[in-house]
Chains A and B, each alone.
Chain A
Amino acid sequence: MKASNKSWKEVLIDRMPDRLAKELDIFENEITLKKQGKIDDKVFAETRLRRGAYGQRYDNGARHDGRVERKLAYPAASLTKGPNTLWDAPGMQRIKIPFGSLNAEQLETLAEVAEEYSDGIAHLTTRQDVQLHFVHIEDVPSLQRRLAAVNITTREACGNTVRNVTACPYAGVCMGESFDVTPYAKATAYFLLGHPDTQNFGRKFKIAFSGCGETACGLTRIHDIGLIAVTRQFNGRTQRGFEMYVGGGLGTVPYQAKLMEEFVLEAELLPLCQAMGRVFARLGEKKNRNTARMKFLVAKLGLEEFKRLVAQERASLPRDERWTSYLHDIARYQENALKPPSLLQISPSAPAGFEEWRKTNVAPQRQPGYVTAMVTLPLGDITATQLRKVADACRKYVRETIRVTVEQNLLLRWVSEADLPALSADLNDAGLGQPGAGTIADITACPGTDTCKLGISSSRGLAGELRKLFVLQNGSVDEAVRGLRIKISGCFNSCGQHHIADLGFYGVNRNKNGYAVPHFQVILGGQWTENGGAYGLAIGAVPSKRIPETVNRITSRYLAERQADESFQDFVRRIGKAECKKMLDDLTQVPPHDADPSFYTDWADAREYTLGDMGVGECAGEVVSPIEFALTACEREVFEAQLHLDGGEFEAAARTAYGSILHAATALLDWRMLPHEKSAGGIVDQFRKQFYDTQLFFDPFVGGKFAHYFFAAHENASVHHDADTAHRLVEEAQLFLEACHSCYGRVMAQPVAV
């Protein structure tokens, strides 16, 4: 949609790392091919998901406006970017921020792309990502090039891949950590990014690091692989390693990760993750996405058998230098402060609200004289202007050491303590100086019905309402309640992490009085600490509009009846689930529509509530066989050959066309798991034997004709090409590719012998 889209590549060509630049050229060509109808919807959907370009609510072209369902008549009409997903419909761009670490230039670039391609807001997620909403698919390559120019990749931000590798935002400065997990998280993120062993998953795969087992900053227990830093003494030396937890995850039915290894040596971290990826790719469910996460595989096999398979896989892996090369520099890894350490001088000229902010948003580092300062972001949202002001603070007070947290805030690290009043004043000036980090007012919420296709109720609307309530009560909230956490999901999929909150909510619908009424299921008893140590249980659904009253009633009773220092979890356990439910019985009632129509609309939405807007989620993406990706890449190569041809570069056109034929043949061999030499001659020989001699590749009408294109192209690989011969070869490459698709389709359509 941007008029400048054609120019960014040229402007940024020298600023992007070659690898990222090439990836984005490929993606842009795939977009062109999709517009030409040359890529299948399912394949393109997974392709864009793997670049972080996600669907958004109403992208099927229909929206209920509160009265009737309306068709959204986009200019590109029926052109699609995935199954039932219209081309022009706005989408979400997820941007991976490994372990949440950003620098000032990256913050400024995020500000720019939020302003120019989105609605001026960057949304921080519970997995340390940044998300932009309402982005047009044709703006995505420019947006991603600008990010690539500051070393941010969106590759594998969505889809059935290794998602953002997260880590405790206090890593390296935490009082209680065993050691700084940052370099390990970084090594894991970049080792697995695009790794061949992580490309054939049936579902997403999440990894998290934590420096300790007690606090919740890394949330390792809710991940496919959770790694907690530990040390041990061995032969008089301190060894670093990790407790390795596997098979955790929230979702509809949450699973606690299980301790698979008590001590994984640092040198074994990457190979073990790789081995686990291979086991998951080989044995994980592919057809039923509802049971395809690794937690189901671990549960199905049992931890011991899973462990045995991983060990077996690990033993078979050829050594990779990258497993340990990063360890050589690890002892020297250390973030630095911008300013010398200092002590805070309490001054009467401190900004208004300074003490309150310091109490909730500032924490001491293990390095004396330094503190961390939390920038609280309501619902994880920050404007472009605020991002620039945070970038200024990053340069002024710290050496650009800032991290996204799993509670959707930003953490400045290495603040010299005496700078706190000035920092507080600067944050206030930017509208970012609110206190209340980590308190009941610091609510986590997923996008819900605002933008998510799966949302049932307005999680952000409710979060905004509750936040307003507690901000207003700020001074008067009892300490025991102040420290509780509220987390809200718009549906049962738990993106808002409602299972591990003191007070969790997820959106549900109830039909009352002949109408649909937005509700939230109330979850009590979850545990945030110990990395998400326990999952809460649902006690009943309450109408959305009565949730503030619900929160008030539960917290009031806790304050009135708690015993000594009884925790909220202990209180809930003591009075019991039945009593908790009984406490809310009257709040579950819905007045008739005529008496109070407000119950029949959701928070921050004036439309009469309906479930008609829900769509099919793209969270898992589609399960796409590697051959489909490989053949799509060949399509792109043929397209590039055409571009060379158009530009009069005949040798390049012929070379690229031949390459596409060779790669397509290789894809068929790999799909059938037929071993072959990597040389062109070896591929030709094996293809002839396995596909030509067996007639497997034969077209029902023209027999082996298309295979002969391959054989001829190989024989003539070294001849010079003019316009005619290059043109012919490009044509033949396209036909050969079509024949590969047909061959794959024919074989897949055959009945499977049982």
Chain B
Amino acid sequence: MNAEMAGRVQVQHVNVKIFAEDTAGVDLACAIPVFHRWIQENVCEELLIDVADYRHVPEGPGVVLVGHEANYSLDLSEARLGLLYNRKAPADHNPRENLTQAFRAALSACRRLEQEPEFHGALKFNAGECQVILNDRLLAPNTKATWQALKADFENFFGGLYGAGYTLDHSSDPRERFRVGVKAIDAVDALSLLPALDRLRTDP
């Protein structure tokens, strides 16, 4: 990446996938009435539009709640179920703000899903294992240079979230979007991370 490109790197269009724990008892069809109800009850900050069903696609997007500013999905990519938050609307260039916003939305959705009666308690997320994807190859090409440019921001953010006990793993396939796997040493409950996110938002 040349200097011009390096100057262009931005943490925009943040995607956060928080992996589910044991998925054996989870019927993805249950997500359809749940997401339709979220639209009816307007439970998210974003303008919610519709539900798209991709359960027929192997390792696909699963069931997607399509919104204007962001999509939420119970995603099956890489054969692992997780809640994926896909931020579509652009924001000011502030890495921590943008990561915090996406994580807050994703964790809130995880918590809400865990409590939805259709899943009968079978759907549980481990907020200590997630992926962050920057869904814009121009602003965040998947290169070592991008990783070097953003590493401190990511360490700062996840240090604030998990403390010292976590690892970051940058996936280096240049055809993929910029993606970092994050794993805390211990499993983490979604609810317990929300106060840490509040602190991250208010800390200078």
Contacts and interface: CB of A to CB of B under 8 A. Distances in A.
A111 B12 CA distance: 19
Contact of A388 (B36, B58, B89, B175): B175
A388 B77 CA distance: 14
A432 interface: yes
Interface in B53-71: 53-61, 64, 66, 68, 71
Nearest to B92: A3
Nearest to A392: B175
A11 B77 CA distance: 30
B138 A119 contact: no
B40 to A, nearest CB: 5
- Most chain-B CB neighbours within 10 Å: which of A67, A381, A385, A606? A606
Nearest to B140: A4
Contact of A383 (B57, B66, B136): B57
Contact of B88 (A1, A4, A57, A58): A1
Given A58-B50, A72-B49, A381 B177 contact: no
Contacts of A70: 39
A7 B40 contact: no
B32 A604 contact: yes
B60 A7 contact: no
B44 interface: no
Nearest to A113: B137
Contact of B58 (A66, A108, A432): A432
A324 B47 CA distance: 55
Interface string B83-107: 0000011110000000000000000
B8 interface: yes
Given A1-B88, A74-B47, A607-B36, A378 B56 contact: yes
A121 B62 CA distance: 11
Contacts of A434: 58
Interface string A55-85: 0011000010111001011110000000000
Interface in B28-51: 32-33, 36-37, 39-40, 47, 49-51
Given A66-B36, A88-B68, A606-B36, A115 B53 contact: no
A604 B12 CA distance: 32
B2 to A, nearest CB: 12
A386 to B, nearest CB: 8
A467 B56 contact: yes
Nearest to A1: B88
Interface residues of B, number: 41
Contact of B52 (A63, A119, A386): A119
Nearest to A450: B52
A738 B36 CA distance: 48
B139 interface: yes
Interface string A379-419: 10111011010000000000000000000000000000000
A381 B55 CA distance: 11
Contacts of A66: 36, 40
Contacts of B90: 1-3
Contacts, number: 117
A646 interface: no
A664 B139 CA distance: 41
B55 A7 contact: no
A1 B36 contact: no
A436 interface: no
Contacts of A438: none
A305 interface: no
Given A1-B90, A119-B66, A121-B60, A63 B50 contact: yes
A58 to B, nearest CB: 6
Interface in A162-180: none
B138 A7 contact: yes
Contacts of A381: 54, 56-57, 60
A58 B139 CA distance: 31
B144 to A, nearest CB: 20
Nearest to A382: B57
A241 interface: no
Contacts of A604: 32, 53, 55
Contact of A8 (B51, B88, B138, B177): B138
A119 B61 contact: yes
Contacts of B40: 65-67
The bracket for how many chain A residues form the interface is 35 or more
Nearest to B33: A606
A569 to B, nearest CB: 29
A737 to B, nearest CB: 34
Contacts of A2: 13, 90, 136
A116 B136 contact: yes
B135 interface: yes
A467 B55 CA distance: 12
A223 to B, nearest CB: 29
A461 B53 contact: yes
Contacts of A73: 47
Contacts of B51: 605-606
A90 interface: yes
Nearest to A428: B58
Contacts of B88: 1, 136
B13 A3 contact: yes
Contacts of A468: 56
Interface string B1-38: 00000001010110000000000000000001100110
A606 B63 CA distance: 13
A376 B116 CA distance: 35
A492 to B, nearest CB: 23
Interface string A445-469: 0000010000000001100100110
B50 A57 contact: yes
Given A116-B177, A119-B66, A381-B56, 18 more contacts: A1-B90, A2-B136, A7-B8, A63-B50, A72-B68, A108-B175, A116-B135, A116-B136, A119-B54, A134-B71, A378-B57, A383-B61, A388-B175, A431-B58, A434-B58, A461-B53, A464-B55, A604-B55
Ordered nearest first, which 10 A-B pairs have the shortest CB separation?
A: A431-B58, A606-B33, A3-B90, A4-B138, A378-B56, A604-B53, A3-B12, A606-B36, A464-B56, A431-B59
Interface of B: 8, 10, 12-13, 32-33, 36-37, 39-40, 47, 49-61, 64, 66, 68, 71, 77-78, 88-91, 135-139, 175, 177
9 contacts: A3-B136, A7-B138, A378-B56, A378-B57, A381-B54, A388-B175, A460-B53, A605-B51, A606-B36
Interface of A: 1-4, 7-8, 11, 57-58, 63, 65-67, 70, 72-75, 88, 90, 108, 111-112, 115-116, 119-121, 133-134, 136, 378-379, 381-383, 385-386, 388, 431-432, 434, 450, 460-461, 464, 467-468, 604-607
